[in-house]
């Protein structure tokens, strides 16, 4: 109902205005409309009070649509206020809570601007658009969330001493001690041909798809023992030449049939090892004749000796019979020598 204005007439008591009954009826109708709108028709609700500049509402239930624009208004207190199945839009403004918390039950909070908060607690999902960033006043993009789900950090990630990183099924998948040591409760998997490194050498270790491990530099083993096991073939170590790894010499263990657990001790002096098929030289001092076993019988012409053929460095075998022939050819009376030798 529209506001009913009392007709006062042109001048006092000229008889052109409303009579007392009509005027009283208008007054009653106007007050009835106010009491009905602000109360139960008989009394104004106790939760409403007003001063010259402030209207106060105690625990109100606001329904319907609140329209219009307030450019310089402040709502100082909202106690248990709920926006049900609707949208609260604040244009060029802000919601500030200095003491308690602002809760969004099962509703979504959408903003195209900046959400500045001290802490966010949610029992649901915190979602942003593809490429969404989270930051602070100094670094706007501390975290970037790609459409693939990958999270990129602009700088370091720090957790407390002894802190853990995990998933729903394994909450302590990783533990980082105060010393910096990282402990994993299960396997570590990286992509095929993935690398492990440091700031100076990013690809210090590469793990190929077939399981081969490639080191970009030296390997140091401080424990002093290298166990080289296998999966059905004798173990080998290949030592390559310096020119494009074109050639390699192989150190190989004895086969299972040899039942060998021998220990090979390297020489104490620098030199070259000689194999059974090698044509290298063996220093005379390396032959330990004093430690040999005596023949236990008289020498015979069929016994073998080693000779340096014409002192040219080529070693050959010879029988003791050749010694007799040499002596006979170089003495004055070979017959007497033969008789002496029997």
pLDDT-based confidence at residue 206 (cuts at 50, 70, 90)? very high
Q: Which of 59-73, 145-159, 229-243, 281-295 tops mean pLDDT?
A: 229-243
pLDDT-based confidence at residue 7 (cuts at 50, 70, 90)? confident
Dihedral of alpha carbons 294, 298, 303, 308, sign = positive
Report the distance separating Cα 270 and Cα 114, nearest Å.
Answer: 73
Integer CA distances (angstroms), 270 to 152, 266, 267, 273, in order: 55, 10, 7, 10
Is it the case that residue 82 has pLDDT exceeding 80?
no
Residue predicted with more confidence, 57 or 7 = 7
Report the distance separating Cα 342 and Cα 340, nearest Å.
Answer: 5
The pLDDT score that the predictor gives to residue 100 is 57
Is it the case that residue 87 has pLDDT exceeding 80?
no
pLDDT-based confidence at residue 317 (cuts at 50, 70, 90)? very high
Q: How large is the average pLDDT for residues 296-306?
A: 92
pLDDT-based confidence at residue 239 (cuts at 50, 70, 90)? very high
The pLDDT score that the predictor gives to residue 4 is 86
Q: Which residues contact 6 (CB under 8 A, 6 or more apart)?
A: 17, 18, 23, 26, 27
The pLDDT score that the predictor gives to residue 70 is 54
Query: What does the pLDDT look like over 16-37, one tens digit per residue?
Result: 888 889 889 989 888 888 888 8
Q: 254 with 234: CB under 8 angstroms?
A: yes
Residue predicted with more confidence, 66 or 47 = 47
Query: What does the pLDDT look like over 89-101, one tens digit per residue?
Result: 555 555 666 555 6
The pLDDT score that the predictor gives to residue 340 is 65
Count of C-beta atoms within a 10 Å radius of residue 59: 8
Residue predicted with more confidence, 62 or 288 = 288
The pLDDT score that the predictor gives to residue 102 is 65
In the numeric block, the tokens 């075998």 are attached to 317
Closest by Cα among 170, 167, 195 to 185: 170
Q: Which residues contact 155 (CB under 8 A, 6 or more apart)?
A: 139, 142
Query: Hey, what are 10's tokens?
Result: 């042109």
Closest by Cα among 295, 318, 286 to 305: 318
Report the distance separating Cα 281 and Cα 287, nearest Å.
Answer: 12
Is it the case that residue 74 has pLDDT exceeding 90?
no
pLDDT > 90: what percent of the chain? 36
**Of 38-47, 68-77, 147-156, 326-335, the least confident:** 68-77
In the numeric block, the tokens 């081969």 are attached to 212
In the numeric block, the tokens 């706007």 are attached to 140
Mean pLDDT score across all residues of the chain:
82
Q: 191 with 185: CB under 8 angstroms?
A: no
pLDDT-based confidence at residue 155 (cuts at 50, 70, 90)? very high
Is it the case that residue 290 has pLDDT exceeding 70?
yes
In the numeric block, the tokens 């060998």 are attached to 260
What distance, in Å, lies between the first and last C-alpha atoms of the chain?
159
What order of strands is seen across the sheet that includes strand 132-134? Answer: 132-134, 143-145, 151-153
pTM of the model: 0.44
């Amino acid at each position: 109902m529209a506001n009913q204005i009392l007709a006062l007439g042109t001048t006092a008591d000229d008889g052109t205005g409303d009579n007392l009954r009509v005027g009283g009826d208008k007054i009653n109708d106007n007050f009835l409309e106010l009491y009905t709108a602000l109360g139960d028709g008989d009394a104004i609700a106790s939760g409403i009070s007003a001063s010259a500049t402030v209207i106060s509402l105690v625990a109100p239930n606001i329904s319907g649509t609140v329209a219009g624009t307030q450019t310089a208004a402040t709502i100082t207190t909202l106690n248990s206020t709920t926006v049900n199945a609707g949208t609260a839009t604040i244009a060029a403004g802000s919601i500030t809570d200095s003491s308690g918390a602002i809760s969004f039950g099962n509703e979504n909070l959408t903003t195209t601007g900046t959400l500045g908060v001290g802490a966010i607690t949610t029992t649901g999902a915190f979602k942003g658009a593809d490429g969404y960033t989270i930051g602070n006043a100094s670094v706007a993009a501390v975290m970037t969330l790609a459409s693939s789900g990958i999270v990129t950090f602009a700088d370091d990630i720090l957790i407390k001493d002894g802190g853990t990183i995990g998933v729903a099924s394994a909450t302590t998948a990783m533990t980082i001690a105060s010393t910096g040591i990282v402990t994993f409760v299960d396997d570590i998997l990286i992509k095929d041909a993935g690398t492990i490194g440091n700031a100076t050498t990013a690809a210090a270790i590469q793990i190929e798809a077939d399981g081969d491990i490639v080191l970009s530099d030296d390997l140091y083993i401080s424990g002093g023992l290298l166990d080289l096991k296998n999966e059905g073939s004798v173990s080998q170590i290949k030592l390559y030449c310096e020119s494009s790894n074109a050639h390699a010499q192989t150190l190989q263990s004895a086969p299972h049939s040899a039942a060998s657990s021998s220990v090979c001790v390297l020489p104490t002096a620098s030199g070259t090892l000689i194999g059974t098929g090698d044509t290298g030289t063996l220093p005379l001092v390396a032959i330990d004749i004093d430690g040999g076993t005596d023949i236990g019988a008289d020498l015979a012409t069929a016994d073998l000796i080693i000779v340096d053929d014409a002192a040219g460095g080529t070693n050959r075998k010879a029988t003791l019979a050749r010694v007799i022939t040499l002596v006979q050819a170089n003495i004055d009376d070979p017959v007497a020598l033969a008789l002496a030798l029997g």
